[in-house]
Each structure stands twice: as structure tokens, then as C-alpha cells.
Amino acid sequence: MEGNLEDLLKGEGNVTLSTQGGTEISEEHPVSVEFDLSESADTQIDGILIETNKENPIQKATVDITYIDAEGNEQTVTAPIENGVEHLLRTSDVQVSMDEDGNIQIHLGSQIAVKKVTLTIQGMQNNNNLAEISKVEFVNGMENRIPKPDMDIPTNLAVETGSEEFTLTWDACKNVTGYEVLIEHNGEQDTYTVKNNSLKVTSFNEKKLVNKEQYTAKVQSVNGTWKSGYSESVTAVPKADKKPDAPENVKAVGKYKSVEVSWKNMKNTEFYNLFYREKGQEEYTKIENITTNSYTISELKENVKYEIYLTGVNELGESDPSLTSTAQTTDLEPAVMPKYKQINTSEEGQVSSHIVSATRGRGEMKDSPLDLEGKTAWGTVDNNPASHFYMADWDDGGEYTDFNNKGFTFEFDQPYTMDTIGFQEVTAQGNFTRISLKYWDENGSEHVVDKNNLKIEARTDKNNKRYYFIRIAEPIQAKKISFGIGRDYSGLRVITVSEISFYNYDSLEDDIMGLYEDELHTVLKGSVTEQTIQDLRNRLQTKDEASGEYHPDKDRLEKELDNAEDILNNQLSEPILVHNTITTRDTDRGFSGLNAWQPLGITAAAGEEITLFVGHNTMGTGSNTNLQLVATQYHAESGSVSKVVTTLKTGRNDVTIPKIWSTDEESGGALYIQYTGNNANDRYSVRVNGGVEVPTLDLYGVTDAQERQQRAEQYVEALKGYVEKMEAVHKKVHENSGNESVEYEYSKENCILGATDILLDKMLFSLPAQQVLSGCEGNAQKLLDSMDAMEGMMNLFYQHKGLNQTAPDEKDRFPQRHLNIRYQRMFAGAFMYAAGDHIGIGWNETAGMMTGVPVQSDNGKYVSGRYFGWGIAHEIGHNINQSAYAYAEVTNNYFAVLAQAKDTNDSVRFEYPKVYEKVTSGTTGKSEDVFTQLGMYWQLHLAYDSGYNFKTYDNYEEQLNNLFFARVDTYARNTAKAPAPQGIALTLSGDRDQDFMRLACAAARRIFSNF
């Protein structure tokens, strides 16, 4: 150093600095000068001025300021200085600026007692051999020493619009550090801070811009805390640059002489055209200019099936047609209930035979000439659907039992043995679920049937109209009977009953069910022979003499007889054992894109009747379980994937598979069990009679390598035989089934027989059987390698979320549900997508799920292998993104990079120069470029993680100590686990950006204000 510091402070000389060895000044060889103010520590200042030789200004430097804070504690703040870079010190009031001559102004924000100031110079603009400082001044009253800059209000603000975006430009202003842009839309505001005089806007308050909607924008220049005031505003109206995409998720529901149609509200669509015709006709009728996303087609024929599709229109043209949906109109005729073994037959409008008294407890009879006075109920047994019972309530004794004042009472001409009663509404609405019943025997003795021995079955006739069967567990012999019915209390307060039918008991069903020793129907009684089964089959194929009808459950009972024959021939498959560690009753970990479905290995058509047999280690037959049946639609659109059909009971459960969508393709798909309990002692087993058995692979919890290999080999061999016969099976059980839900020509992409499942610890694959076989090339080892790769990738992801099965708290252990990658129809612009409980992929991508290779690493450093592509990791990221700080298309891509990165610049998708430009730009807020913004998050991983990219940890504490985002997500789940310096606990405010900064500071155990 040449010169005198005291003279420098007096403004009477200058100081020249150079390195000791004569090398150039650089970050590796800086020069520094220190000003000790401890002797005058009581003197408070609020600013520092440093003047340099304007012929050779400072390029880069830092100023370390040590001071005494308000509590008397010594603190140090570092102010970075760099030509052309605006540093933002978020947690400090310090502002640093450098003018065009290289003079430095440091505003401390308030008056503080400074003890020491150290200026460290790391580079000069023109000559790095020496640095010259001509003046240093410590100032009290900085606002009087730094003149307000002569700033311009931006002018010539212009806008250029695109599709879902617009770009603003304006003339550059002098003496400014940046600009603030204010966007307004529908009474809301959003502000952007930029350094340069242009801004591309693609979102408003984190939502994509909407075409044809009006946004206003204005801009002001800023320099530190000074602002110029806003310019005049301009208006931007983004416009579509292509015709609309075809309407999606079209649903059609048949009503009386009408069809109600609804669909997804599509972007860039001004109106819709709807086309409909009778199925099989040539010409469509067109309805134009529909401006909402629903429409009711009226004045149609009764009981006719219609085909419907839509198009969307904007100023650039008309979209391609949507998928075609079908719906059948209805008439006002009631459901046709079975007459098989019916007791109370009659001519229309006449009192039923064998009934001598019919009364009601309350309500009223309508349009019933037989019920003109008193509390009679003849109109419910007169074979006239127009006469009916009506009551404005949801319960008529089914829930709140009162046989004296509620429900119906009928007396017969003699005792009858029965176990089934049928009834129907005038027009089906809602569901009946409550039932109570008592009866009088031939001696007049009363018997109340336990509600646990009663159930109501909703059924449909051939025209899909609903009626109900009341089932009594054991046959009763009744001279008189009284029963009450009720709905679930869901707001529907109306009960109507049009007709009630009583049926003579027929032992045929009980005789068939009595073939078995066990409730799962897997073991026959010792007395059962081929002849026993054939005799029962003969009875089943015999019509009732009086009605000329077959048994109403003929199809289902035939399957039971087929099942019995399979047992005799040793061809019955084993029941499914339910995993009680996969459950919907999982703890909240801050992400929710999972499900708890367990495949049954059965695909079933909509409208098909199946029977499920449920066993339990302690429960008796008929007990309520924690098992739900989930039906799915194969190759569905995103909005029509699944439906919980029913909660099962132990023993027998008869179920009709619902129709989930109205699209004119095969309806039906794979069936699943969903466990809703949390009892480690629950042991359930389930067997299905009905549907078509499809090969599945269950590797959940299987850790033995030999067993995994054996299961994979058995699965691939089963797939080979199954896929080879799929088309032939389709022709037999679909095209010739009589079930219109699957009576289509064979299509490999749409036939529901293709639905196969592979269950892993953290993933469920639900994919086409053909594509699984094609992707693994019929090689079990290749399939198993891909499954191991998926488990490895999910383990890596969960490591960075702070999840580990060895964690002491349940919230920090692996979820008890899994992700589910499903074969789905893609919506506009997607080749994969993430939904609330699944990830959808298209046909071409499904085979790729069988091509993963486990990654091998040397202590985390990549050696070999390949996880799955960017796309699938991107979608998984959506479903496991921590909700406290998730930014769609940004933070989910952290996992996409994690799956691919090999600790090299060319293995990531963002560009480091763009990340650097963002960091040094002096702008606030996220980058408009999602990959640049992703790089901002990735830097934290690089800066604070201790190992290479693929490094994982068996021990939870090691994992937490070595992975930055493991700490971030752990603290997001439970802020009490974060460090609390000086007793200040971490809290989350609900503001995503603030919360992430707090979480990041806690995870790094430092303040990021200097960065």
C-alpha cells in the first residue's frame, strides 16, 4: 500500500494498493484495506462513500462492515460490489450502487455504530496491477449526500400479443436500476420486477393467461427505493394462433325423450357445435353456437340410443370432432320387475291375488282409485305403475323403525315362505339403503328381523331402469309382513313406491351356494359330484311355469356352477390376499397424488354382475369390512377413470359393475380392492366370480431375489399365453356376450381384456398386457430389471423428500399408498399427464415402462444404468411435489433432473449462463423461463448436498444431514423439526415464496440475504 489512510479519510491524499508478489489483482489474489473505527464506536453513521480513479474503476469487491446492533451485539454484514450487477440483500437494509465513474455508495439504511470497515478488491476494470482509492467518507445523513436520481417515467410502452402471452417493450431510462411492471385483470393485480426494458408475460398470478381476455399493463422505473411513477397503461388481449382442440370428456346421459350432454370447457374456444343422430342412421343433426359446456337435446324419441359428438370453433376455424358418446333416452314406464315365483299377481288396476290387506303408516296414495279413504296402500300392489305412494321425507321407517306409524303392512290369504321382496319408484332418483322388517307367522306371533340380516339391492332391468330387492338372510314364513324403507340422508326428501312384489322362496340359489365348505367358495363339500352340479344346472335352465321366466340371477348362478366345476377339475385360481399395509388411512405428508388400489386380476364389463367372496381371520359372515371395491375404465379419459362401487362385507357380495363413461368404446376395466383400515391384525382374502381373469404380478414386499425372479417368470409366461388368445377370447366373451358395453369389434388399444397390473412397493403399473410383453421382449429378467429401476428411482426421489422407513416419525416414512402409472387417453397437447390419483400415459409410452435399467453408482457417482425418461419423472414430480412450495412445471422438474443428472453440465436441461444471468440481474421474482428457474432450485442441491447425485442413505439421520431438500421437505411437514436459533422457531405463513425462503434458510442453517 502506498499512501496514508489518515490523509485519505481527511480527503487530503489517495491510497494505491497492489499485491505483494506483483501479480494481477483477482479473486485468488485480492487486495484489501481496513478502517478501524473502534475508538470512535459511539459515533453513528448511515452511509459510506468510496471514490476511485475514474480511469480505472473497481470491477469487483466486497465491503465487510462490523457494527454494534440495537441489542449491543456485534454483527457483520457483507456488501458485494460488482460492475453491472445489482445485488439484492433481502434481510438487510444495506443498498450498494456504483456510478459510471466507479464511485461506490453504500447506504446502511439506518444509523448504526460501526467498529470496522474492510474493503477487499478482487478486480479492476482496466488495469489489474493496482487499485487507487482517492477518498473514503463515513456519513451521517446519507439522504442529504446522495441526490435523488434524475429518473424518467418510461415512454413508448408497446405491446405485442401471442397465444396465451404478450410482450411489453418501452424506451430505456437513465439512472435506473430496473423497472416495475403492473398487470391488472378482472380487478386483480400482479407485479413484475425486471432489469431491462422488455417483459414477456405468460402468466397472471401464477395462472396461464387466457386468450381473448383483456389485461392492462403499465411500467415505472426504479432506483433503490425511488420510483418514477407509472407510465400510461396499454391493453393486451392475447389471441389464439390455431383452431381449438377437440372437446374432451364428453358425457351423455339419457333422460325422458332427451339427452343431457356435458364436456370439458376447452381453451381457445368461442362456441361449440353439437351433432347427434339415432345410432346407425346416416345423417347427423347439427346444433350450432353453444356458448356453455353443457346442453340438453330435447324432443327426442323414447327408448332410442343416440350418438353424439362435438366440435369447438374460434376465429381460426373448427376443431376436429370429439370422441363419440352414446346415450339412450327413457320413457315414463317403470322398471320391469321379475315375475319369477311372484306371489301377488293381478290384472292392471286390480287388487293383487293372495293379499287381503294393504296399509301404510303415513304419506299419501296418488292416482290410486283403490285408495280413496283411510290409510290403505292398494295402489302399490295393483299392477298399475301410475298409482303410487308418496311421502316428502327421506325415511319411512327404514332408519328410524316404527312399525305402528311408518312403512307398509300387508296380510296374505295364507302363510308364504319368502326371502325376497321387490319394489320400484315412480321415477328412479337417489338410492334406498335403509330397511327394517317384521312379520307374523301362521300363529300370529311377531318376529322382528335383525337389520344385520336384511339388505337392499339396487337392480336394473334390460332397459337399465332401477328397481330394488329386499333380501332376508334366512327364509321366513309369513302370514303378515311389515317393512320400512329409507334413503341415505343426502338432502333428497322424497320417497315414492309404485309397485311391490312378493316372491315365493326358491331354494335353488341356496342349494348352489351350499356346494361349498368355505365362504371364499374355494372348497367343495365332500358330497359334491359332477352329477350334483349338473342337476343344479338343469334346474337353473328350467323356466318358472307360472311366469315363463328364468331365475333372475341365472347368469351369476351359472358362474357359480362353472366355479364348482373348476374346483372339481383343480383349475380354480387362489384368492387374493389383501396387503393391510397399503391403506387409504395414510398420514398427510404434504402431497397427495397416490392411491391405495390393489389389483384383483379381474377385468369386468360395465353392466356385468359379479360376485366377490371376502374372508377374514376373525370376522363372521356378513360383517362390515374395511374393503372397498374400485371399478376402473380401461383406456379412459382423465375425468372418467374410476368409481368406488361398494364397501364389502365378509362372505358373499353381489355387485353390478357401473358404467363410468358414455364414450362409444368398450366400457369396463380392471377391478381393485382398496383397504381403508389401519389394523395390523386384519387378514383379508378376496375371490371374484365373474369377469375375465388377467395375469398380474405382485412384488409388493417381496425382497427375496429368487422369489421375485420366480414370480416374474410365471407372470411373463402367463402373459404370453394370455396375449396370444386375447382376440379369440374377445370374440367369445365380448362380441357374443349380449352386453352392449363390450359388443364391439376387437381393437387392441380399446379392448378391456388388455388390463394388466404390476404391484411394487412404491408404484402400481396398470398397462396393456400386449405392451408389457412387447416392452420386456418376453424376457422376465428384463421386466424385473425395469421394476427394480422404478423402485430405485422412487427411493432416490423419496430420499430427497426426507422419507425413510427407518425414520422415527410416521410422517417421515414412506407413504402407505403408491403412485399409479396407467394407460390412458391423452388430452390436447399431452403425451403424459399427472392427475389426483394416477399418472396417465399413452399406448406408445407404455412399452417403455419395461425398459428401465437399475442405476449403479460408486458412492453416488454414476457408473451405469438408466432410470426412466424426463417425461415420467416430470409427472411423478407433480404427484409428489411438496405443496408448501410447489411451483408447477418447475419444482416437479427437480425430480426429472435428479433421475438423469450425472454430475455433469450436459446431463441437465437448464443452461448455467442463463442461471448466472438471472442471479446477477438484480430482478426479483421467479424467471419466466421454467428451466432457468429450475436451475435456481438445483443450485441449492449442488451447494449443500454432501455427496454425488445418486448417493442415498440407509440411515435416516445421515440422509437428513446430507440432503438439502430432505431437510426442506421434512421441515415443511413439521416445522418443529427445524433449528430455532436464539429460540426463534420456524413458522410458515402460507405465502409460497416466503415459506420456501424460510425453509431453505432453515435447511442451510444460514441466511441467504447475500445471495
pLDDT tens, 834-870?
Answer: 998 999 999 999 999 999 999 999 999 999 999 999 9
Q: Who's near 186: CB < 8 A, 6+ residues apart?
A: 213
C-alpha cell at 615: 374372508
Q: What are 389's three cell numbers? A: 305412494
pTM exceeds cut of 0.75: yes
Q: What percent of the chain has pLDDT over 90?
A: 71
Instruction: Judge residue 871's burial from the number of C-beta atoms within 10 Å of its C-beta, 0-12 exposed, 13-18 middle, 19 or more buried.
Output: middle
CA distance 632 to 843: 17
Helix count (H) and strand count (E) of the chain?
16, 54
Type of residue found at 337: M
C-beta separation of 934 from 897 below 8 A: yes
Report the chain's mean pLDDT, rounded to a whole number: 92
Size of the chain, expressed as the number of residues it contains: 1011
Burial class (CB in 10 A: 0-12, 13-18, 19+), 110: exposed
Which range has the worst mean pLDDT, 143-152, 471-480, 905-914, 986-995? 143-152
Confidence at 90, pLDDT banded by 50, 70, 90: very low
Placement of cell 319408484 in the chain:
425
- Helices 705-730 and 780-800 cross at an angle (nearest 10°) of 110
DSSP string, 256-300: BTEEEEE----TT-SEEEEEEEETT-SPPEEEEEE-SSEEEE-SP
For strands 597-605 and 642-649, give the pairing: unpaired
Query: Looking at the predicted structure, is the pLDDT value of residue 873 above 70?
Result: yes
Distance CA 397, CA 405 (A): 8
Q: What is the DSSP string of 192-213?
A: EEESSSEEEE-EETTEE--TT-
pLDDT bin (cut points 50, 70, 90) of residue 3 is: confident
Burial class (CB in 10 A: 0-12, 13-18, 19+), 292: exposed
Percent of the chain with pLDDT over 70: 97
Average pLDDT value for residue range 426-440: 92
Instruction: Specify the range with the lowest mean pLDDT, choosing from 267-276, 512-521, 631-640.
Output: 512-521
Residue 46 pLDDT greater than 90, yes or no:
no
d(CA 114, CA 75): 10
Q: What is the pLDDT of residue 69?
A: 78
Look at 126-140, 296-310, 702-716, 841-855 and tell me which has the smallest mean pLDDT: 126-140
1008 pLDDT tier (thresholds 50, 70, 90): low
**SS3 category, 529:** coil
For residue 299, give every residue at least 6 positions away whose Cβ sits within 8 Å of its Cβ, in sequence order, or none.
257, 258
pLDDT at 1010: 43
- 111-154 pLDDT per residue, tens: 788 888 899 999 988 888 888 888 888 888 776 665 555 568 99
Which tens digits make up the pLDDT trace of 770-828?
A: 999 999 999 999 999 999 999 999 999 999 999 999 999 999 999 999 999 999 999 88
Distance CA 131, CA 128 (A): 7
> Do residues 313 and 319 lie in contact, with contact meaning Cβ atoms separated by under 8 Å?
yes
The per-residue pLDDT for 145 is 62
Tell which wins on pLDDT, 367 or 1006.
367
Place of cell 307398509: 408
The C-alpha angle 765, 768, 774, rounded to 5 degrees, equals 100
**Cell reading at 31:** 487486495
Alpha carbon distance 785, 868 (integer Å)? 12
pLDDT at residue 657 above 80?
Answer: yes
The three-class DSSP label of residue 618 is coil
Q: Domains of the chain (ranges plus CATH)?
A: 5-145 (2.60.120), 158-236 (2.60.40.10), 251-328 (2.60.40.10), 355-505 (2.60.120.260), 513-568 (no CATH), 576-823 (2.60.120.1250), 870-1004 (no CATH)
What pLDDT digit, counting tens, does each position of 384-402 carry? 989 999 999 999 999 999 9
Please enumerate in sequence order all residues whose Cβ is within 8 A of that of 10, keeping only pairs 6 or more positions apart, or say none. none
Bridge pairing between strands 215-223 and 178-185: antiparallel
pLDDT at site 1011: 38
**What residues does 846 pair with on adjacent strands?**
none
Residues 6 or more apart whose Cβ sits within 8 Å of residue 831: 841, 842, 845, 871
Higher per-residue pLDDT: 771 or 96: 771
Cα dist from 834 to 75, 584, 874, 876, 881, whole Å: 48, 19, 9, 7, 11
Give the pLDDT confidence score for residue 909 in this predicted structure.
Answer: 85
Relative to beta strand 853-858, strand 499-503 is unpaired
pLDDT digits (tens, 9 = 90+) for 579-595: 999 999 999 999 989 99
Q: How far apart are CA 860 and CA 902, in angstroms?
A: 9
| In contact, 579 and 596? CB cutoff 8 Å | no
The answer, yes or no, to whether residue 964 has pLDDT greater than 80, is yes
Determine if residue 775 is left, alpha or beta; phi over 0 gives left, psi from -120 to 50 gives alpha, anything else beta. Answer: alpha
From residue 269, give the alpha-carbon distance in Å to each of 174, 210, 263, 360: 44, 11, 13, 56
Neighbouring residues of 20: CB distance < 8 A, sequence distance ≥ 6: none
Q: Is the pLDDT of residue 472 over 80?
A: yes
